[in-house]
Homo-oligomer: A and B are copies of this chain.
Amino acid sequence: MEPRDVTRSIDLAVIPGDGIGREVVPEAVETLRAALGADAAITTTNYPFGATHYLESGEILSDDDLAALAAHDAILLGAVGGDPRDPRLAGGIIERGLLLRLRFAFDHYVNLRPTRVFPGVVSPLVRPGDVDFVVVREGTEGPYVGNGGAIRIGTPAEIATEVSLNTAYGVERLVRYAFEVAERRRKRLTLVHKTNVLTNAGALWTRLVRAEAERHPDVEWDYLHVDAATIFLVTDPARFDVIVTDNLFGDILTDLAGAISGGIGLAASGNINPDGAFPSMFEPVHGSAPDIAGQQKADPTAAILSTVLLLDHLGMPEPARRIEAAVATDLADRAGAPRSTGDVGDAIRSRL
């Protein structure tokens, strides 16, 4: 079978999700459409998955749903999650049943999360410096595998475990990808782990980074414990170029990265299957923010920047750069009264 020529048409699955996901995703889709213009056709199929859909239908994501999603070129997701106090949603049932299920089922082993302090954006740091790095987070292993259990639940003798699984297979392919990213950037890579405590996983990660580094003599690399990495993210974030790290550390560091770079409202991410065996999924790092949902208060920029990662992944760098530039210009000019979700989207599109 010939690969589809996605440079002329994109068949996109869209999962707006819950809360502000439903407000930011239409802006992202419209921006994508505007950037592609006459150069490429785009068809979108909306899927209702999320906490709201689950509460209404009892369904999170069936095997048929998975098969339907698998047929698309890529997936754009807004945000999922309902009222955190709703007992029917306890224990991350939606996050795991939908978001993590997709990452695992579609082997999204690269979780790509770029961070930049765009000119004009107010960082909470006094001296952020020239921040421009990308976290290459593992997406299918570590403590995210759901491998653990509990006995004597609810008693004073309860024991609960969580198992972090790390395989040479999984770490090697991620590390290889991270070095390739570093080759295309400033050629600096930092492994973040906790090798002095998590010695088994730590030794595996260290060995595979060291081995891959030999194949990239022009990439300088160093190592930081995860606790030390949080310090540098605050005191000297400009020191980073590519960070490669495990699923859980990557989760923590990328929210922190969003915070120091001026807000999680700007942080985009790609859940990528580089082999192309499954569609990759693009989503803002932020959540569904039920507290501000439905008020057109959400910033669609992170969702719009996620389409940049999507276009790059599909091999369409030209419209990607145009959206990126439009966002940068819009951010540089932000001032005055807060704008609605739609107004930000319009402003970005007007600069394309």
Nearest CB in chain B: distance from A87 CB, A: 12
Q: Out of B156, B168, B252, which one reaches A230, CB within 8 Å?
A: B252
Nearest CB in chain B: distance from A167 CB, A: 5
Q: Do B199 and A172 touch across chains, with their CB atoms under 8 A apart? A: no
The complex places the Cα of A15 from the Cα of B135 at a distance, in Å, of: 38
The complex places the Cα of A201 from the Cα of B199 at a distance, in Å, of: 21
Report the copy number of this chain in the oligomer.
2
Known pairs A91-B202, A124-B126; list 7 more (Cβ under 8 Å). Answer: A91-B195, A91-B196, A92-B196, A124-B125, A143-B164, A156-B169, A158-B168
Chain B positions within 8 Å of A259 at CB level: 230-231, 234-235
Known contacts A143-B197, A162-B198, A234 near B252 by CB under 8 Å:
no
Within 8 A of B (CB), among A252-299: 252, 254-256, 258-260, 264
Judged by a CB distance under 8 angstroms, whether A163 is at the interface is: yes
- The interface size of chain A toward B, counting residues with CB under 8 Å, comes to 67
Judged by a CB distance under 8 angstroms, whether A324 is at the interface is: no
A and B contact pairs by CB, cutoff 8 A, 9 listed: A123-B126, A143-B164, A148-B164, A150-B204, A153-B203, A157-B169, A158-B168, A230-B259, A234-B259
Known contacts A160-B201, A196-B92, A234 near B260 by CB under 8 Å:
yes
Nearest CB in chain B: distance from A240 CB, A: 14
Judged by a CB distance under 8 angstroms, whether A251 is at the interface is: yes
Chain B positions within 8 Å of A161 at CB level: 163-166, 200-201
Instruction: Using CB atoms and an 8 Å cutoff, list the residues of chain A in contact with chain B.
Output: 84, 91-92, 95-96, 100, 122-127, 143-144, 146, 148-150, 152-169, 172, 194-204, 207, 223, 226-228, 230-231, 234-235, 248, 251-252, 254-256, 258-260, 264
Q: Do A95 and B197 touch across chains, with their CB atoms under 8 A apart? A: yes
Nearest CB in chain B: distance from A211 CB, A: 10
Chain B positions within 8 Å of A228 at CB level: 255
Chain B positions within 8 Å of A127 at CB level: 124
Q: Do B230 and A162 touch across chains, with their CB atoms under 8 A apart? A: no
Q: Top 9 nearest A-B pairs by Cβ distance?
A: A92-B196, A227-B255, A160-B200, A230-B256, A158-B168, A234-B259, A162-B164, A231-B259, A160-B204
Chain B positions within 8 Å of A264 at CB level: 231
Known contacts A150-B203, A227-B251, A92 near B195 by CB under 8 Å:
yes
The complex places the Cα of A260 from the Cα of B161 at a distance, in Å, of: 32
Chain B positions within 8 Å of A255 at CB level: 227-228, 230-231
